Amino acid sequence: MTLALETIGLSKQFGALGVANDIHFRLEPGARHALIGPNGAGKTTFVNLLTGRLAPSAGRILLNGEDVTRASQAARARRGLARTFQINNLFPALSVLENVRLAVAEHRGLTTARRALIEEAYATVTRLGLSDDALTPVRALPYGKQRLVEIAIALACEPTVLLLDEPAAGVPGGESGLILDVIERLPAEMAVLMIEHDMELVFRFARHITVLVRGSILVEGTPEAIAADPRVREVYLGTRTHG
Amino acid sequence: MTDAIAIATALRQHRPRWIEAIPWILGIGGYFVFSDQLAFGSQILIAILFALSLDLVLGFAGIVTLGHAAFYGTGAYAAGIYAIHVSHEPLSGLLVAAVAAAAVGAISGLVILRTHGLTQLMLTLAIATLLAEAANKASFLTGGNDGLQGIEIDPIAGLFHFDMFGRTGYLYCLIVLFIAWLFTRVLLASPFGQSLVGIRENVTRMHAIGAPVGARLLITYAIGAAIAGVAGGLLAQTTQFVGQSVLSFERSGEVVIMLVFGGIGRIYGAFIGAAIYMIAQDQLAKSDPEFWNFWIGLILVLSVLFARGGILGIIDRLRGR
């Protein structure tokens, strides 16, 4: 079976500092995978390497079996890699529908009829329970709903691989349920990788967990195995210094 | 709100509104009311077209330029040289002006779009200066310091002679401006145009959803250059002369002022800004021939300090939006 996403010996050095060290990572189609690790573990660097915001110092990245190590962010997106951002990264002046429509237009092609684009965007907006806010400018929405727009834009690209970068970050407790509901209803065949601090969310979502520490994979396994792993406890309970 | 209403509302977003007829009513009305000043009227229409092309580049593609006259001048010289050496036919002359300017835009765009901010600004300036110097040196072709003289233009479609009162010239400019406006408007309402708005609002996100941002900006820059070239071509054809000032820094700066004055990134800012600037300059130059530049400068300073978004910005605020 072709993996949805694979990194082979992926490394990134800033000067002498290795922020990603020989990472061998595998994401299967339909995966519900979480990447966790303490602050400064290199999670953000890893995401930036996967999406192409950073170029690796060594190693390869395969997306659905194709080598995309040298491909631009946009080229990776067109090949099925979509992401959400840790801090909302939207088109604040545009309506929810227009935000999503921009993504639909890139996915379907700019020659697609406007009506078809709008209808498809509206269907995505509805799927995320945002239809009442479809014509509202994004900046006028509460933060939790803006987080949903983040996901809506990513889903409009119909990705095979979805990277959720701390999807519930900054969301008040009462609204985080909405986001988890949406995540639980993602298409089963889509490979989803979540980068998250919130352990409750991670353990509700993930069927597989990778723990990243100081730019290297410490351990991988099922949530049960990770929860029981003494090395993980050590890292999280802080008997060893980390930063 | 029902789904059908939401979709219908979204579809209506770019529908023409009655208010958009105002420039054309004024343009046609001006033909009858100011029938003794149609040559000046043509200058205003050309300035509007030039400012409109800048709005595409600066207002929608977000490319900060102080060298937009490079394309205006290229179009003017191309149309003039074409008329002298190839054919007196005006429409093909405009096409030549557009293609020449678009080519210069596409080639220089490959360089300037690799840069941002101040570097980009300086590069646009440098390219316009290079072209101006090249036109100066190539006096066998451009007439150098004396300007390009002896441009003759055939009647449009073999029917409408360019008359000494500038009637044909004015209507010719008005129709060309209308076509360019229609094209720009349709382009900006299209998914392509909307993607430019997306790039302007949040380029990071556009990369992340797979938009080939660089290619989009390059195409837009070339289209903006082509329209500026048509404006230059109109100038060459209606005045039957091309002076070196078409490539000058002053010309590049002036068009930025017009657009800032009217309002950037909304098409109609070009209409209002260019028209008011041209009329103000004309009036001030008559009443205060030695000092009129000072008054233009003062108006600009005041409008930048107190009227962000230009005249259209003021109108928006008055309407409480």
- A186-198, pLDDT tens digit by residue? 999 999 999 988 8
DSSP state of A58: E
| Cβ within 8 Å, pair A135-B194 | no
Edge-to-edge strands, sheet with A161-165: A81-83, A161-165, A191-195, A32-36, A208-213, A216-221
Q: How many domains does chain B have?
A: 1
Q: Which of B9, B202, B210 lies at the smallest CB-CB distance from A135?
A: B9
| CA distance to partner chain A, nearest, from residue B197 (Å) | 9
DSSP notation for B87-117: ---HHHHHHHHHHHHHHHHHHHHHHHTT--H
Question: What's the token pair of residue B270?
Answer: 């070009």
- Are B208 and A114 an interchain contact pair (Cβ–Cβ within 8 Å)? no
Q: Which of B197, B205, B209 to mutate to test the interface with A (most CBs of A within 10 A)?
A: B209
Helix (H) or strand (E) holding A47: helix A43-51
Measure CB to CB from residue B210 to each of A114, A134, A157 and give the nearest one.
A157
d(CA B258, CA A234): 65
* Contact of B225 with B105, CB cutoff 8 Å: yes
Whether B41 is in a domain gets the answer yes
pLDDT above 90: percentage of residues in chain A: 75
Asked if residues B68 and B226 have their Cβ atoms less than 8 Å apart, the reply is no
Q: Are the CB atoms for B304 and B264 separated by under 8 Å?
A: no
Is there a contact between A122 and B198 if contact means CB atoms under 8 Å apart? no
Question: Would you say residue B4 lies in a domain?
Answer: no
Inter-chain residue contact B194 with A107, CB threshold 8 Å: no
CATH code of the domain containing B166 = 1.10.3470
What pLDDT is attached to residue B41? Answer: 97
SS (H, E, C) A122-191: HHHHHHCCCHHHCCCEHHHCCHHHHHHHHHHHHHHCCCCEEEEECCCCCCCHHHHHHHHHHHHCCCCCCE
- Residue B12 is assigned to a structural domain of this protein: no
Contacts of B195 in chain A (CB under 8 A): 102, 105-106, 110
Query: Does residue B11 lie in a domain region?
Result: no
What is the rounded CA–CA span in Å between residue A51 and residue A136? 29
DSSP assignment string, A67-96: E-TT--HHHHHHTTEEE--SS----TTSBH
Q: Which is it for the CA torsion B255, B256, B261, B264, positive or negative?
A: positive
- Cβ-nearest to A114 among B6, B11, B202: B11
CB contact under 8 A, A51 and B192: no
CA–CA gap between residue B9 and residue B52 (Å, rounded): 28
Query: Which B residues, 5 through 64, put their C-beta within 8 Å of a C-beta on chain A?
Result: 6-7, 9-11
Question: How far B148 CA lies from chain A's nearest CA (Å)?
Answer: 42
Interface of A with B (CB under 8 A): 51, 72-75, 77-78, 82-83, 85, 89-95, 97-98, 101-103, 105-107, 110-112, 114-115, 117-119, 122, 126, 131-132, 134-135, 153, 156-157
Closest residue of chain B to A105, computed from CA coordinates: B191
Q: What are phi and psi of B63, to 5 degrees?
A: -95, 115
Mean pLDDT of A36-57: 92
Query: Which whole-number Å values give the CA distances from B25 to A85, B22, B269, B294, in the listed order?
Result: 48, 5, 17, 33
Using the Cβ of B164 and the Cβ atoms of chain A, whether some distance falls under 8 Å is answered with no
Chain B interface, best mutation among A47, A63, A73, by max B CB count within 10 A: A73
What pLDDT, on a 0 to 100 scale, did the predictor assign at position B14? 84
Given a cut of 90, is residue A29 above it in pLDDT? yes
Interface A-B, measured as beta-carbon pairs within 8 A, has a size of 100
CB contact under 8 A, A82 and B206: no
The candidate with the shortest Cα–Cα distance to B106, out of B1, B224, B4, is B224
Fold of A5-237: Rossmann fold (3.40.50)
Q: Which token pair is B63?
A: 């490319």
Report which secondary-structure segment, H or E, holds B47: helix B38-54
- Please report the pLDDT score of residue A238 as a whole number: 61
Residue B9 falls inside a structural domain: no
Could you tell me if B246 and B69 are in contact, meaning their C-beta atoms sit under 8 angstroms apart? yes
User: CA dihedral in degrees (B231, B235, B241, B246; nearest 10)?
Assistant: -50
What percent of chain A is helix, strand and coil (3-state, nearest 5)? 40, 25, 35
pLDDT of B307: 77
Q: Are A94 and B197 contacting, i.e. CB atoms less than 8 angstroms apart? A: yes
* pLDDT for the residue B133: 96
CB-count exposure of residue A98 (10 Å: 0-12, 13-18, 19+): buried
| Residue A89 structure tokens | 């990264």
Examine the pLDDT at A26 and tell me if it is beyond 90.
Answer: yes
Q: Which two tokens stand for residue B224?
A: 């903006």
B192 has a chain A CB within 8 A of its CB: yes
Contacts of A78 in chain B (CB under 8 A): 210
Of B11, B195, B207, the CB nearest to A110: B195
- Per-residue pLDDT tens digits for B214-268: 999 999 999 999 999 999 999 999 999 999 999 999 999 999 999 999 999 989 9
Distance between CA atoms of residues A129 and A132, nearest Å: 8
- Residues in CB range of A28: below 8 A, 6 or more apart: A1, A3, A4, A191
Pick the residue from chain B with its C-alpha nearest to A97.
Answer: B10
Residue type, B104: V
Q: How many CA atoms lie within 13 A of B252 on its CB side?
A: 27
Full pLDDT tens readout for chain B, 321 residues: 578 888 888 888 888 888 999 999 999 999 999 999 999 999 999 999 999 999 999 999 999 999 999 999 999 999 999 999 999 999 999 999 999 999 999 999 999 999 999 999 999 999 999 999 999 999 999 998 999 999 999 999 888 999 888 999 999 999 999 999 999 999 999 999 999 999 999 999 999 999 999 999 999 999 999 999 999 999 999 999 999 999 999 999 999 999 999 999 989 999 999 999 999 999 988 888 888 888 888 888 888 888 778 888 888 888 876
Residues of B in contact with A89 (CB under 8 A): 202, 204-205, 208
Could you list the residue range(s) of the whole structural domain that residue B240 is in? 18-318
Residues of chain A found within 8 Å of residue B191, distances taken between Cβ atoms: 105, 110-112, 114, 117
Spans of all domains in chain A: 5-237
* pLDDT attached to residue B34: 94
Per-residue pLDDT band at A40 (split at 50, 70, 90): confident
CB B1 to CB A134 under 8 A? yes
Task: Give contacts of B209 with chain A, Cβ < 8 Å.
Answer: 77, 82, 102-103, 106-107, 153, 156-157
Q: What is the pLDDT of residues B268-280, one digit of tens each?
A: 999 999 999 999 9
* Best of A87, A106, A157, A164 to mutate (most B CBs within 10 Å, chain B): A106
Residue type, B261: F
Per DSSP, chain B holds a count of helices (H) and strands (E) of 15, 0
CA atoms within 13 A on the CB side of B235: 30
C-beta atoms of B209 and A103 within 8 A: yes
Structure tokens at A16: 């002498």
Gap between the Cα atoms of B89 and B227, Å rounded: 19
Orientation angle between helical segments B268-287 and B249-262, nearest 10 degrees = 120
